[in-house]
Amino acid sequence: MASVRQLSGFTFANNADAESLLSRNFRDLIELSRLYHPAPILLIYFPHLYGILYASIRQYISYETIFLRSCALLVGSVFFSNAAHIWNDIVDEPLDAQTPRTRTRPIPRGAVSKKRAALLCITQAILATLAFSFFPLPNSVVYAIPNIIATTYYPWSKRHMDYPQFVLGFCIAYGVAIGALIMGMAPFTLQNGGVVVQPEVLCLFLAVLFWTVIFDTVYAHLDVDSDVKIGIRSTAVRFRGCAKWFLAVQLVCMIYALVLLGVWGNMSVAYYVFAVGGSLLSLGLLIYCVDLESSQSCWWWFGTGFWYTGGAILIGLLVEYILA
């Protein structure tokens, strides 16, 4: 029952061969898009939810509107996540092929061609932009341009600078601005030749940025030995041996941003308990307990810290909305 390879593609001796190949192709695309686990999507979606909730707190928006627009951004986040991960794998293919943990990804192992991956990436990016049809403000898609540029550049930043985690942090934290925008709150405006930013939105954006730098620095320690050998740059490589001090500084900056958000936004005690206290506790434990020399420890704390911290901020903003 062997399949026969022809110049035009594949023909099959029976349906079982066809089903087997289709199944493998489907699994390869799922792996390429990181759809086999919810974490990559939620990493992108949570900041959008934060922006939605904060804008709703300030504008007293109904539950129904929040639900519908949250669903729209969830769908958009899925497609954006797919496009971003595929693009990252296309650009990183020469580096991934040299790294033990990533050399079995679909593109380095030859399961998916770069041409096919690029076509899928473009398709997912186009589908992601459809979410902007739900935005109430005109020309809302223009606000996405900074993040499109940053997301496109991110894979290259690992070749150009020691701090690519801050580029990734910008990409992920920008979801706060998009979340506020879909609720009718412009995160920034152009006035008199300059940019005027909503200060509370900026605080929430910075908090997510520093949070991203923390968990991605821990994640980068999974490959730090390989990265040093092949020339990949990161905060894990830059601060190797003293990374916990670097992480502690990021945590201080994150908590400061969350406190400023609470002060300027006149938040209740509940916000400080859940969002500020929960973030400080969960990330403080991560920084204290994680063994950066152990891949197993880094992987466990990366996943666990994400859920606890992301959930704490989400609960803090949700409770604040309910109380408001």
Compute CA distances 204 → 165, 192, 198, 275, 283, whole Å.
17, 25, 10, 11, 17
What is the separation of C-alpha 317 from the centre of its chain, rounded to a whole number of angstroms? 19
Mean pLDDT is lowest, of 137-141, 164-168, 264-268, 307-311, for: 137-141
Tell if the pTM clears 0.85, that is, is over it: yes
Let me know: does 275 contact 311? Beta carbons within 8 Å: no
pLDDT tens figures, 312-321: 999 999 999 9
Burial (CB < 10 A; 0-12, 13-18, 19+), residue 201, is buried
pLDDT tens figures, 101-132: 889 999 999 999 999 999 999 999 999 999 99
| R_g over Cα of the chain | 21
Domains of the chain: 38-323 (1.10.357.140)
| Short-list 295, 159, 155, CA closest to 227 | 159
Mean pLDDT is lowest, of 9-18, 161-170, 191-200, 253-262, for: 9-18
With a CB cutoff of 8 Å and minimum separation 6, the contacts of 35 are 41, 82
How high is the pLDDT of residue 20?
Answer: 56
What is the separation of C-alpha 156 from the centre of its chain, rounded to a whole number of angstroms? 17
Let me know: does 292 contact 302? Beta carbons within 8 Å: no
- The answer on pLDDT for 7 being more than 70 is no
Mean pLDDT of 244-268: 97
Mean pLDDT of 50-75: 95
Sign of CA dihedral 126, 127, 131, 134: positive
